[in-house]
Structure 1
Amino acid sequence: MVNRPPLKVLIAAPRGFCAGVDRAIQIVELALERFGAPVYVRHEIVHNRFVVERLRGLGAVFVDELDEVPDDRPVVFSAHGVPKAVPAAAQDRGLSYVDATCPLVSKVHRQAERLIADGRHILFIGHAGHPEVIGTFGQVPPGSMTLVETVDDVARIEVADPGNLAFLTQTTLSVDDTAAIVEALQRRFPGIKAPRSEDICYATSNRQAAVKAIAAECDRVLVIGAPNSSNSLRLAEVAERMGAPARLIERASDIDWDWLGQPRTVGITAGASAPEVLVREVVDALGSRFDVREEIADHTPERMTFKLPRELVA
């Protein structure tokens, strides 16, 4: 028998599914129970191919737009949120729909509406093209929000009334990058109104803090998540900034063994849309080449849960 080199595997905690993702997946499962298959889902319910394929196997049909949904079938809106025009169009067609928008994203939507009603222009910190950004911009009249992606963008902002501004943020951003952008905004616009509480969600903040807690010990960090998952990409960036080379992988088959090399300690974390089964798959793959000693690096326990829509639990 070949001697396998020893490897300490530090598993970040918390990691993986957050309460909003749990709720969104449950909504699709309950809709399938309630209405039978097929149930249509506008866009990926969450950014994870493994999750999407499992739900597809249960009878979910994923579409890009509402016009792909038959008149007699229900549709679920994704956890990232949708512009107001989408449920309005569903109502116009008489479609049954269930909104799986994460409640923390919905909170940002309501804040945006209130700020616009107060006559403020919103500077929104986020990533262009992300579904959450598209959904949030779709809550307010065109032209009433300006996207800010970087600190450099702050110097280029031109607004009609610089004394009547507010800022909001996407929920899945880098905590450190966002703090730098907020600082730049407050320097340039001292009277800018901040949200009552931070918009970056608890799960995003906790997962980034958990990576920071282990990165210094790690020779390599594997982040399990989809390439289009904002919060997963941020986890890899956080590890790199802490000096630990990191790779984003969707599952064990994506591990680049040449890049991994012969480390003494590997850190593992998972984005908020990645199921724990993929973490176990990666640990097992490491165990096929190394004599693995696992250690859970507890950081912050999470007890958050969100209520399910009344129409599915009544």
Structure 2
Amino acid sequence: MNIDRTNQEQEVLDDLLRACLRGWGWRVREAVPIKRGWMNLKWRIVTDEGDFLLKQYNRERYKLYDPEALSFAFEQQTRLHDAGLPCPRPLAHQDRVMLDSERGERFMVMPFCPGRLVPPGGASADQMYGLGRAAGLMHRLLNDGTNRKMAAGPQFRPPSREERLAHWDAVRGQAVAAGREELLDDIDTQRRATETIALTAFESLQTGWAHRDLWADNLLFDDSRVSAILDFDRLKYDYPALDIARAVLSLALGESLDATLAEAFVMGYREERALAAGELSRALQMLWYLESPWWITAEGSECGLPPERFAYEMNWLANNLGELRELVGGL
């Protein structure tokens, strides 16, 4: 264990607990670190008022956020909770959700949500049906006309085939220059898939407000029921179908994509919101086109989850791109 890092994290925690005492008068009896997420620190804190999640925003990572977009995401999370979606309601202090400590740490607090994580590829049909219903409800509420915030267009604007082919050529050159020949097969797989992708398939996918991070680590289950959808930080106007693809790929892909699980998700989703035939397979294609440059790189995947898992997903999609609709039973 890195002693300096441990000491730094303890200093951050002590600072945030002082802020909680000032803001809510809480006396914290226990603080348990939650080792999930990238760079941001999280704790489950046990108080006389209940259990809460304390989330610190890493100063370097915070530079990647748009504070106005983050504030809007918190507003929508609050609205979704109040409308019945299983998600925690952010706590506000003096009408603010994003708070600052004495030492300048940015943080937020939410009720701690019970439930368990389902490992990637490890969901049951009942869990997928429940997740489909929750995702459909979330998308229906987010796009019910209540939100008047204007968007210039979807967050993801697919680059041309020529741009993406040039990208893979550049990545291949970087891998060769770095002596990482073991990565070339994966890079070549992505390039071959790019040569065959029909970008016109994306034109039928509807734009709208979406969670944009709906994967296994942000979902808690209580048996078959979704007990909480977490982490709305990336919520933006984009393609809701990308949420569908990300959830199905995360929880239904083992050695192959389980069509029974995909169908259960779609059945649940259609209980709340329309989903056209073939939309799942098109969404999976778009998800691959969006995410493959993130996870297939000249540096390779970092050890462990989630990078190795995401790289596996991108390679599986690239290898099966032309058969996706058959593999998911026409969904």
After TM superposition, the score normalised by the length of structure 2 is 0.30
Structure with the bigger percentage of helix: 2
After TM superposition, the score normalised by the length of structure 1 is 0.31
Higher RCO by CA contacts (8 Å cutoff, separation 6 or greater): 1
Structure with the bigger percentage of strand: 1
